[in-house]
Chains A and B, each alone.
Chain A
Amino acid sequence: MCMAEINIGEHWFWWVLLVACLVWYSTVTVYVAIRGALDIKHMLARLAAMQEQER
Chain B
Amino acid sequence: MTHFSWPIDGTIVGLYLLATMIAGIMVRKYVGKVEHFLVAGREMNIYLGIASLAATEFGIVTCMYTAQNAYKYGFAGAIPGLTNVVAMFLVGYTGFGVKPLRDAGVMTIPELYERRYGKFVRWLSGVVIVLGGLLNMGVFLRMGGQFLVVCCGLNLKYLEVTMTVLLIAVAFYTILGGMLSVLVTDYLQFVVMSVGLIAVTVLVLVKTGWTNAVFTVDTHYGAGGFNPFVNPDLGWQFVLSNTFTSLAAVLTWQPVIARVLAAKDSATGRKIYTRTSFFFIARWMLPGLWAIGALAAATVTPEKLAEIARSMGEKDGTIFAMPYFLGLILPSGLMGILVAAMLAADMSTDSSYMLTWGSVIYNDVLGPFRRRRLSERAGILWNRFIVAGIGLFLLFWGLWYKLEGDLWAYLQLTGTIYLAAMSILLIACCYWRGANNWGAIAAIIVGAALPVLGLALDKLVPLPVLDAAGQAVFKDGIAQTIGWKAKYIGDAWLNIGTYAATAAAMVIGSLLKSALGRHDAAHRALA
Bound together, the chains give a CA A39 to CA B219 distance in angstroms of 48
Q: Distance in Å from the Cβ of B364 to the closest Cβ of chain A?
A: 25
Interface contact B282-A43, CB-CB below 8 Å: no
- Knowing A6-B211, A14-B226, say if A44 contacts B30 (CB, 8 Å): yes
Interface contact A3-B27, CB-CB below 8 Å: no
Interface contact A46-B43, CB-CB below 8 Å: yes
The interface residues of chain B lying within 8 Å CB-to-CB of A15 are 210
Contact of B212 among A3, A36, A37 (CB under 8 A): A3
Interface contact B75-A14, CB-CB below 8 Å: yes
Contact of A47 among B36, B47, B226 (CB under 8 A): B36
Determine the interface band of chain B, counting residues with CB < 8 A from chain A: 35 or more
Q: Distance in Å from the Cβ of B433 to the closest Cβ of chain A?
A: 38
Interface contact B43-A32, CB-CB below 8 Å: no
Interface contact B215-A6, CB-CB below 8 Å: yes
For the complex, would chain A's binding face be called helix, strand, loop or mixed by DSSP majority? helix
Give the A interface residue count (CB, 8 A): 36
- Knowing A39-B47, A44-B30, A47-B41, say if A29 contacts B195 (CB, 8 Å): yes
Interface contact B218-A6, CB-CB below 8 Å: yes
The interface residues of chain A lying within 8 Å CB-to-CB of B30 are 44, 47-48, 51
Q: Mark A16-28, 1 if CB is under 8 A from B, else 0.
A: 0110111011101
Among residues of A, the one whose C-beta sits closest to the C-beta of B74 is A14
For the complex, would chain B's binding face be called helix, strand, loop or mixed by DSSP majority? helix
Interface contact A40-B194, CB-CB below 8 Å: no
The interface residues of chain B lying within 8 Å CB-to-CB of A47 are 30, 36, 41, 43, 180
Bound together, the chains give a CA A40 to CA B190 distance in angstroms of 14
Among residues of A, the one whose C-beta sits closest to the C-beta of B275 is A28
The interface residues of chain B lying within 8 Å CB-to-CB of A50 are 41
Q: Distance in Å from the Cβ of B200 to the closest Cβ of chain A?
A: 11
Q: Does B390 contact A (CB under 8 A)?
A: no
- Knowing A11-B226, A25-B198, A51-B30, say if A39 contacts B214 (CB, 8 Å): no
Interface contact B48-A3, CB-CB below 8 Å: no
Interface contact B202-A22, CB-CB below 8 Å: yes
- Knowing A11-B226, A47-B41, A47-B43, say if A3 contacts B183 (CB, 8 Å): no
Interface contact A40-B197, CB-CB below 8 Å: no
Q: Distance in Å from the Cβ of A37 to the closest Cβ of chain B?
A: 7
The interface residues of chain B lying within 8 Å CB-to-CB of A36 are 47-48, 50-51, 187, 190
Interface contact A21-B286, CB-CB below 8 Å: yes
Could you list which residues of chain B lie within 8 angstroms of chain A, going by C-beta atoms? Answer: 27, 30, 32, 36, 40-41, 43-51, 54, 75, 180, 183-184, 187, 190-191, 194-195, 197-198, 201-202, 205, 210-212, 214-215, 218-219, 226, 278-279, 281-282, 285-286, 289
Known: A11-B214, A20-B278. 11 other contacts (CB 8 A): A1-B219, A3-B215, A13-B226, A17-B281, A21-B282, A25-B194, A33-B190, A35-B47, A43-B45, A43-B48, A44-B27
Could you list which residues of chain A lie within 8 angstroms of chain B, going by C-beta atoms? Answer: 1, 3, 6, 8, 11, 13-15, 17-18, 20-22, 24-26, 28-29, 31-33, 35-40, 42-44, 46-48, 50-51, 54
9 sample A-B contacts, Cβ–Cβ < 8 Å, listed by A number: A3-B215, A11-B214, A22-B286, A29-B194, A35-B46, A39-B44, A40-B183, A43-B44, A51-B30
